Amino acid sequence: MNKLPQWADVVLVPLISLLLAALVAAIVLLAIGQSPTAALGIMVKGAFGSANGWGYTLYYTTSFIFTGLSVIVAFHAGLFNIGGEGQAQLGGLGVALVCLALPWPHWTVALLAASLGAAVFGAAWAAIPAYLQAKRGSHIVITTIMFNYIASALIVYMLVDVLRPAGQMDPASARFPAGAKLPALSDMPFISEFFARMNPDGTPKLTKAGLQMYSNVPANVTLFIALAACLVVWLLLWRTRLGYQIRAFGKSEAASKYAGINPVKITMIAMLISGGLAGMMAINNVMGSAERLLQNSAEGAGFIGIAVALMGRNHPLGVLLAALLFGFLYQGGAALGLNTTIPIEMRVVVQGLVILFTGALDQMVRMLLVWVFGFGRKAVA
């Protein structure tokens, strides 16, 4: 009946949801005898207060952009892909196999090949649930969750029995060759100024505490690929014929059949793109940061992607902003654990609250706003 103006729907609803989450988090903090304002200060400072903090925040953001985009592409086709976590792990396997295959001459070549490997492996992992959904009607939510577990088991097997170098104790692949090392943001021209350890005059940069700057940040060139991916996904969904068919199919399967859109084809393609995007997250964490494949490499980013997509209103720009927010929560939360007696679990609580309010209770805020707006209109009239 009553409709919210678009700006309120896009800006106000998430903002109020966030404030509510922050409010409840503050109450929790007060209840355990901590100061919410101090905690917020530490989080902001930890995430954005230093070059180093930015380095981590942007690193997390990059991963979340990929998994968030993965969720929205599937979602526009009416498919809820919860398997981002498994697809990202498989993407990691693809990256590792590519990186270890050759002594790569230059990182750009390695990056291209590894991106392809990550996307193909992630897409392949999504293809099986997609096929089961399209042909057999097995619900994709169930199968993708199951495939997350299978992915973890597969990776453990690969690490223990196949990829582990002889004599190594921990279940991990060998370190990638030097030619496959991606430049961190702190190594890149122009940007490196911000992260540089040295002042232009050659003296070491010091932090406010008087410590020498730590230059090696995990955020790397993949960030730019993630930003490009946002643009590509937007173009795909709203400017191409394929995107048109994906969105039509997601809105109404019956109508799509009338229009002659092949449901099997669209389900497969949308899930392949979705899985490929989730897989590409691995070039950020596996290739760009860890430089070898470890167990559980995705570290939950696949699931965070769902929250990012929900909060980002299934739009690439929204995903970008939401990924930044969750990057802040991750890095700020870590700073909280490092610098205060607030238990590290508090960061999980805060993330949980943000997901609860922006995702699950989003409709509550909207109804409230509809009421407020309706009231305003009546008062004017």
Partner 1 sequence: MVATANNGGRQATAALTPYAIELKGISKAFGPVQANKDINIAVPRGTIHGIIGENGAGKSTLMSILYGFYRADAGEVYINGKLTPIPDSQSAIRAGIGMVFQHFKLVQNFTVLENVILGAEDGPMLNTSLAKARKVLGDLSREYEMDVDPDALIEDLSVGHQQRVEILKALYRQADILILDEPTGVLTPDEADHLFRILNGLKDQGKTIILITHKLREIMEATDNVSVMRRGTMVATVKTAESSPESLAELMVGRKVLLEVEKVKATPGAVVLAVENLRVKDDDGIERLKGVSFEIRAGEILGIAGVAGNGQSELLEALGGIARATGRITLKGVDLPLVGLAANGQTRRAAGIAHVPEDRQHLGLIMDFSAWENVAFGYHNDPKYQKNAVFMDNDALRADTERKMATYDVRPPIATLAAKNFSGGNQQKIVVAREMEQNPDLLLIGQPTRGVDIGAIEFIHKQIVALRDAGKAILLVSVELDEIMSLSDRIAVMFDGQIMGTADPETTNERELGLLMAGVSGKA
Site residues for partner 1, window 168-197 (CB under 8 A)? Answer: none
Nearer to partner 1, 131 or 214 (CB): 131
Residue 72 beta carbon to partner 1: minimum distance, rounded to whole angstroms: 16
Please give the structure tokens belonging to residue 291: 């430089």
DSSP-derived secondary structure letter, 57: H
**Beta carbon nearer to partner 1, 137 or 202:** 137
Q: Which letter does DSSP use for residue 211 in this model?
A: P
According to the binding rule CB under 8 A, does residue 368 interact with partner 1?
no
Structure tokens at 17: 């949801």
Judged by beta carbon, residue 146 or residue 261, the one nearer partner 1 is: 261
Indicate whether 156 belongs to the interface with partner 1 (CB under 8 A).
no
Say how far apart CA 295 and CA 246 lie, in whole Å. Answer: 34
Q: Does 258 bind partner 1 (CB under 8 A)?
A: yes
- Interface residue with partner 1 among 175, 197, 247, 366 (CB under 8 A) is 247
Q: Which two tokens stand for residue 172?
A: 């991990």
Least Cβ distance, residue 131 to partner 1 (angstroms): 16
30 to 24, 158, 338: CA distances (angstroms): 10, 46, 19
Task: Give min distance, CB of 254 to partner 1, in A.
Answer: 6
235 sits near partner 1 (criterion: CB under 8 A): yes
**Which region among 43-51, 151-159, 217-225, 254-262 touches partner 1 (by CB under 8 A)?**
254-262
Among 254, 341, 379, 380, binds partner 1 (CB under 8 A): 254
- Written as six digits, the tokens of 54 are 């930015």
- Please count the other Cβ atoms lying within 10 Å of the Cβ belonging to residue 110: 25
- Taken as a whole, the chain contains a residue count of 381
Near partner 1 by CB under 8 A, which window of 34-42, 90-98, 258-266, 309-317? 258-266
Q: For partner 1, give the closer residue by CB, 235 or 338.
A: 235
* Binding segment (CB under 8 A) for partner 1, from list 205-213, 250-258, 266-274, 287-295: 250-258
Residue 231 interacts with partner 1 (CB under 8 A): yes or no: no
Taking a C-beta distance cutoff of 8 angstroms, is the pair 307, 67 a contact? no
Residue selected from 137, 166, 241, 379 as contacting partner 1 according to rule CB under 8 A:
241
1 binds partner 1 (CB under 8 A): yes
- Tell me which residues in 262-321 interact with partner 1 (CB under 8 A): 262
30 vs 255, which CB is nearer to partner 1?
255
Distance CA 293, CA 97 (A): 9
Spatial distance between the Cα atoms of 237 and 77, rounded to a whole number of angstroms: 10
Position among 143, 220, 245, 274 found at the interface with partner 1 (CB under 8 A):
245
Q: Which is nearer to partner 1, 199 or 240 (CB)?
A: 240
Q: Is 293 helix (H, G, I), strand (E, B) or coil?
A: coil
Cβ proximity of 196 and 215 under 8 Å: yes
Residue 97 — φ and ψ, nearest 5°?
-60, -40
Closest CA to 83 of 271, 224, 263: 271
Q: What are phi and psi of 262, to 5 degrees?
A: -80, 110
Which member of 207, 240, 296, 339 binds partner 1 (CB under 8 A)?
Answer: 240
Is residue 66 within 8 Å of residue 224, measured between CB atoms?
no
Q: Which of 259, 338, 344, 360 binds partner 1 (CB under 8 A)?
A: 259
How many amino acids of this chain bind partner 1 (CB under 8 A)?
22
Query: And the tokens for 115?
Result: 């991106």
Amino acid at 167: G
| 260 forms part of the interface with partner 1 (CB under 8 A) | yes
- Does 337 sit near partner 1 (CB under 8 A)? no
The three-class DSSP label of residue 34 is coil
Q: Give 11: exposed, middle or buried? Use CB within 10 Å, 0-12, 13-18, 19+.
A: exposed
Q: Which residues sit at the interface with partner 1, rule CB under 8 A?
A: 1-2, 235, 239-241, 244-245, 247-248, 251-252, 254-255, 257-262, 374, 377
